[in-house]
Amino acid sequence: MIMIAQNALAPFSDRRGRFSALKTVTAFGLVAPALWMAYEVSIGAWDRPSPSVNLLIQTGYWAIWFLLLSLAVTPFRRIFRRSGLIAVRRMVGLAGLAYTLAHLVSYAAVKLWDLGVILRDLSTPLILVGWLSLFGLIALGVTSFDAAIRRMGSRAWNRLHYLVYPVTALAILHFLLSPATIAGVAFTFSGLFFWLMAWRLLNRYRLAERPVALFGLALGAALFTALFEALWLWAYQGTRAPGGGSPLATLALNVDPEWWGIVGLSPTWKVLLAGLGVALAAALWQRTGLYARGREAGPPRAWTGRLVLTLGGAALGAFAGLALNPPPAPDPLAGLDFGDSIFLAPVGPAVPAETDWARIAGIAAAGAIGAAGGFGLGVLADRRTRRILAPTLMPTPAPDGRAG
Ligand code: HEM
């Protein structure tokens, strides 16, 4: 009974059964992309070329984001002295596995569930590398529970879980091997992965918390991204690359605002901004008393937990309301005159859409129901869990009568 209560509320409570705002916010954040995908599919926004193709792409992206995020937990714990962040690492890693499994299902759907085709695909490096990464992820996932740690012993468990580095590298390699990867997020992933690995090297030399070292790391990661992108595209994509097969031309695109207008900010700049953001945040945070004391978040207050769950419930409810009352989805391009614009920017004045009050009321009602549900869950997580788990939380009396 206790185990069931503990498991059911695990995403919302810490090991001692107390409500955890951090875990709750993280759980909502991990589920949010899945809800967004369900919504996009439900309103038919992903019908072109097909929902499964769009799901294949998006689940793949989110799987890698969550793997990288799980690798970022240790650096953030150290840099900001927030050791409590460890509580969400397993959740984030498992979310990476869940999105990968959804990716596999989308892939099977794209291949019309034809096992023969799926097996034949194994002969392409792209797919083979994907499978290798998936097998590694499954090994990490099934051994991520406390029982496995106890059975394996922490030494063997730690050794096995070093697999997370090659598994993430293989996932990024899998993305890079796609013939469609001629720019963009695959290189941002590569640069961020470099940052995460190089940070661990800095950590060996006890430099990993210093803002100056983090500034240097940001510059190094950006430089790596620029060079890696230019060389990878030159070696793997040849003339299909945006630079036309010349690494120098690819490098030059990083400082070409016209190119940014087409594909957005290049990976090099994104990695630089992310790295500088961490260094700057570290420099500011380390001046605060919170860092100096290395203070852990105190015991969560009941109102924090309830507020987080109420807002989360409201967001989920509104989202469900939105999915149940999808906006009319006419062809977004119908009736628009694009003139000679290559960016498909419509010409002429925008016509304001009519306000659909009934739809808004439906969404608000669903939001209110969600908020009430979230509040109820908060009360449950705060009070009942603690009561149910109270026997397990009682300090064990020592033989001499003192609490042990
Ligand atoms: C069972 C193993 C896997 C299979 C069969 C598979 C299959 C595929 C296929 C067919 C594509 C499209 C390639 C293209 O358009 O050229 C793709 C893309 C992708 N996959 Fe996988 N994959 C697997 C594992 C993984 C894993 C483990 C991850 C990440 C953790 C991942 C992340 C991605 C990403 C980010 C993309 C790129 C999406 C895009 O085209 O923009 N895949 N995968």
pLDDT digits (tens, 9 = 90+) for 6-25: 444 577 777 777 778 888 89
Q: In this predicted structure, what is the pLDDT of residue 326?
A: 61
Does the C-beta of 130 come closer than 6 Å to ligand 1? yes
Separation between Cα atoms, residue 66 and residue 58, nearest integer Å: 12
CB distance 176 to 236 below 8 Å: yes
Quickly count: other Cβ atoms within 10 Å of residue 71's Cβ.
23
Q: How far is CA 267 from the centre of its chain?
A: 17
106 lines ligand 1 (CB under 6 A): no
Hey, which of 174, 181, 185 would you mutate to test ligand 1's pocket, going by the most ligand atoms within 8 Å of its Cβ? Answer: 174
Instruction: Tell me the mean pLDDT in the region 285-306.
Output: 61
**Six token digits for residue 353:** 């859409």
Rounded to whole angstroms, the maximal C-alpha distance in the chain is 88
Quick one: average pLDDT of 69-79? Answer: 95
131 lines ligand 1 (CB under 6 A): yes
Residue 64, ligand 1, Cβ within 6 A = yes
Instruction: Choose the residue to mutate in 112, 175, 192, 236 for probing ligand 1, maximizing ligand atoms within 8 Å of C-beta.
Output: 175
Rounded to an integer, what distance in angstroms lies between the CA atom of residue 275 and that of residue 266? 15
Q: What are phi and psi of 380, to 5 degrees?
A: -60, -50
Q: Give the integer Cα–Cα distance in Å for 400 and 23.
A: 38
Q: Could you tell me the pLDDT band of residue 273, with boundaries at 50, 70 and 90? A: very high
Residue-wise pLDDT tens digits, 333-380:
455 454 554 444 444 444 445 667 777 788 788 888 888 887 887 777
Residue nearest to atom 32 of ligand 1 (CA): 60
Closest residue to atom 31 of ligand 1, CA basis:
60
Ligand 1 contact via 174 beta carbon (within 6 Å): yes
Ligand 1 neighbour 62 (Cβ under 6 A): no
Distance CA 258, CA 350 (A): 26
Q: How far is the CA of 176 from the centre of ligand 1 (A)?
A: 10
Half-sphere exposure of 404 (CA within 13 A, CB side): 6
Yes or no: say if 387 and 396 are a contact pair by the CB < 8 Å rule: no
From the CB of 66, is ligand 1 less than 6 Å away? no
Is 180 close to ligand 1, i.e. is its CB under 6 Å away? yes
Whether 189 is in the pocket of ligand 1, judged by its Cβ within 6 Å, is no
pLDDT of 90: 93
The larger pLDDT score, comparing residue 286 to residue 99, is at 99
pLDDT digits (tens, 9 = 90+) for 123-177: 999 999 999 999 999 999 999 988 898 999 889 999 999 999 999 999 999 999 9
- For residue 137, give the ligand 1 atom closest to its CA: 27
DSSP state of 86: G
Cβ proximity of 12 and 309 under 8 Å? yes
**Protein residue whose Cα sits closest to atom 1 of ligand 1:** 131
Q: What does residue 403 show for φ and ψ, rounded to 5 degrees?
A: -70, 135
Atom from ligand 1 closest to the CA of residue 118: 5
Q: Please, which residues have CB within 8 angstroms of residue 117's CB and are 6 or more apart in sequence?
A: 111
Instruction: Pick 181 or 374 by higher pLDDT.
Output: 181
Choose among 307, 200, 218: nearest CA to 269.
218
Q: What is the pLDDT of residue 219?
A: 95
CA atoms of 267 and 273, how far apart (whole Å): 10
CB-neighbour burial class of residue 352 (10 A; exposed 0-12, middle 13-18, buried 19+): exposed
**Is the Cβ atom of 93 under 6 angstroms away from ligand 1?**
no
Q: Is the CB of 172 under 6 A from ligand 1?
A: no
Q: Is 188 in the pocket of ligand 1 (CB under 6 A)?
A: no
CB 15 within 8 A of CB 84: no
Contact predicate 214/275, CB 8 Å = yes
Cβ–ligand 1 distance for 129 under 6 Å, the answer no
- Ligand 1, atom 25: nearest CA belongs to which residue? 130
Q: Say how far apart CA 266 and CA 243 lie, in whole Å.
A: 13
The answer to whether the pTM exceeds 0.85 is no
Q: Are the CB atoms for 126 and 118 separated by under 8 Å?
A: no
Q: 122 CB less than 6 Å from ligand 1?
A: no
pLDDT band of 305, cuts 50, 70, 90: low
Angle between helices 185-204 and 51-79 (to 10 degrees): 20
Provide the token pair at 290.
Answer: 């919170």
The tally of CA atoms less than 13 A away on the side-chain side of residue 211 is: 12
Pick 360 or 41 by higher pLDDT: 41
